[in-house]
Amino acid sequence: MKLVRYGRIGKEKPGLIDEFGKLRDLSAHVSDFSGANLSDKVLRKLAKIDPETLPVVRGNPRFGVPVAKVGKFIGVGLNYADHAKEAGLPIPSEPIIFMKAITCLSGPDDPIMLPKGSKKTDWEVELGVVIGARARNVSEEDAEKYVAGYCVVNDVSEREFQLENGGTWDKGKGCDTFGPVGPWLVTRDEVWDLDKLDLYLEVNDKRMQTGCTETMIFKVPQLVAYISRFMTLEPGDIIATGTPPGVGLARKRFLKKGDFVRLGIAGLGEQQQDVIGYQEF
């Protein structure tokens, strides 16, 4: 299934995309896609519903983050061999993990806002993993059982804040709008080969990133098992699993007001974002 949350910010409703690409309303069957509603039991129940019986949503509503009430947004750094090479850094012996503030989460087509004083805002297309069941010290062999599904993530990063201002990476990773997720959550039963997913990202219609999950250093089961050693993963937590080569840091080219970003992953959908200047809310 392709599960979505659609509508105005803070007023999103649950829905699904049918085989013909139509958006259908699921609010009569599930309150939202958060917590216990991401369990295998609930997802199996939803999968039994004939999409033809669900109301079609008219127009082109905004899509929000396909998961509600995200508790943790976890990033993985330098997880593609070709990206580590372009950065001139050694292959990590263990996964590099960091946290992105949940306040950075935004819909897949919401604008990216340059932070106040930003000079080096960058892009990173990534495979997102959505946890569906509590995971604590799980094995690699069992890890995928704890996954509800997969999605596209743009791990937007301000490199000066992240790398040049001292301290941890978090400062450059959690700015408002730095976590576009979606357009939908594809349940794990529909993603057959996690090691063969093509990723891409364009800025102003120029290809910047082209990659494949086959060059990931640590695969999804390894990451879920590893992270669950250090923190309990709860349903609705999102893991961004790293990015392929072609980031702005390597190109010495960063986002500016007026840029247009498009990115996607085969089978998981596409995002697009306008880049805007800093705005007070």
- pLDDT 10s digits, 147-180: 999 999 999 999 999 989 888 888 999 999 999 9
Distance between CA 238 and CA 216 in Å, rounded? 18
CA angle, 199 then 118 then 243, to 5°: 15
Mean of pLDDT over the chain: 96
Strands 198-203 and 206-212: antiparallel
Instruction: Using the CB atoms, write b or e for 272-281: b if 16+ within 10 Å.
Output: ebebeeeeee
Q: Which residues fall within 8 angstroms of residue 142, CB to CB, at 6 or more apart?
A: none
List the chain pLDDT tens, one digit each, 281 residues.
999 999 999 999 999 999 999 999 999 999 999 999 999 999 999 999 999 999 999 999 999 999 999 999 999 999 999 888 888 888 999 999 999 999 999 999 999 999 999 999 999 999 999 999 999 999 999 999 999 999 999 999 999 999 898 888 889 999 999 999 999 999 999 998 999 999 999 999 999 999 999 999 999 999 999 999 999 999 999 999 999 999 999 999 999 999 999 999 999 999 999 999 999 76
The amino acid occupying position 147 is V
**Contact (CB, 8 A) for 69 and 103:** no
pLDDT digits over 212-254, tens only?
A: 999 999 999 999 999 999 999 999 999 999 999 999 999 999 9
Distance between CA 272 and CA 112 in Å, rounded? 10
Distance between CA 80 and CA 87 in Å, rounded? 11
Measured in whole angstroms, how far is the alpha carbon of residue 65 from the centre of its chain?
Answer: 9
Domain boundaries along the sequence of the chain: 68-276
Q: What is the pLDDT of residue 281?
A: 61
The amino acid occupying position 44 is R
Q: What is the DSSP letter of 92?
A: P
The number of helix segments (H) and strand segments (E) in the chain equals: 5, 18
Enter the tokens of residue 107.
Answer: 């819909």
Q: Which fold has domain 68-276?
A: Fumarylacetoacetate hydrolase; domain 2 (3.90.850)
